[in-house]
Homo-oligomer: A and B are copies of this chain.
Amino acid sequence: MLVRHLSYFVALAREQHFARAANACAISQPTLSAAIARLESDLSTPLVRRGRRFEGLTPEGERLLEWARGVVADYERLCGDLQGMRGRV
């Protein structure tokens, strides 16, 4: 599981639309679709309710979202901290 894929998932939950989320992440729509499918495969659980269009997250998706938001936010803080440490050496 890639941290980057978690950020794709967070974007999808925010945008409620595969193509818009992909655009927000600066990747193609199929790449985002595949990344979400990969997360579902890795976790052996459906994360998204799909019909003709995006129809929200499953309960498992909501559970993942909670964690993913924290991971992505903390990862960004980590990168900032590391850059600061490098900068001050």
Minimal Cβ-Cβ distance residue in B for A3: B1
A 31-82 contacts with B by CB, 8 A: 43-45, 59-60, 63-64, 67, 70-71, 74-75, 78-79, 81-82
Chain B residues in 8 Å Cβ range of A60: 82, 85-86
Report whether A85 and B71 are in contact in the complex, using a CB–CB cutoff of 8 Å: no
The reply on A2 being an interface residue by CB < 8 A is yes
Q: Residues of A with Cβ closer than 8 Å to B?
A: 1-4, 43-45, 59-60, 63-64, 67, 70-71, 74-75, 78-79, 81-82, 85-86
Beyond A1-B4, A60-B86, list 20 extra A-B contacts (CB 8 Å). Answer: A1-B2, A1-B3, A2-B3, A43-B79, A44-B86, A45-B82, A45-B85, A59-B85, A60-B82, A63-B78, A63-B81, A63-B82, A64-B78, A64-B82, A67-B74, A67-B75, A67-B78, A70-B74, A71-B71, A71-B74
